[in-house]
Amino acid sequence: MELSLSARLALPLPPPPLPLLLRRRLPRRDHPAAMARLPPRRHRCRSAKIPESEFTTLPNGLKYYDITVGSGLKAVKGSRVAVHYVAKWKGITFMTSRQGLGVGGGTPYGFDIGNSERGNVLKGLDLGVEGMKVGGQRLIIVPPELAYGKKGVQEIPPNATIEEAPFNY
């Protein structure tokens, strides 16, 4: 049996090949060509640990480094904030708001700035978020006095310094 010309045109056609430009492989994120397009601070953060000399140290011993300065409202005492955080001790993650499903993962942790006495949040995280702007990303190093102190908690020993790896406000 022979198909007529009109019947042949009704058959689904395979999609046309992609143009050569779209089929090109993009460089990996850690490839030098990809890294060259990143802003200088981001490049330093991804390629190596930021030296503590570049952190800003507060009188209470808390250290912070702004990876990205936000452009939104500033977090002040009494304001309600929601942050994503990753808490580490000696490079090992022991607490995070990123646990959950999806790419972003998890629910941001919400608290009122200046109310760390209630025990809802570490005093170091409370003080570390104060002054940030919405959309910002910051690293903080929390001294033992502003973290778990002389008691420690579960796997965190007494007098442990805690790192809050990049957290977003």
Per residue in 13-26, pLDDT (tens digit) is: 555 555 544 444 54
The model's pTM is 0.66
For 116, which DSSP code?
G
Per residue in 112-157, pLDDT (tens digit) is: 998 888 878 889 999 999 999 999 999 999 999 999 899 888 888 9
SS (H, E, C) 63-108: EEEEEECCCCCECCCCCEEEEEEEEEECCEEEEECCCCCCCCCCCC
Domains of the chain from N-terminus onward: 51-168 (3.10.50.40)
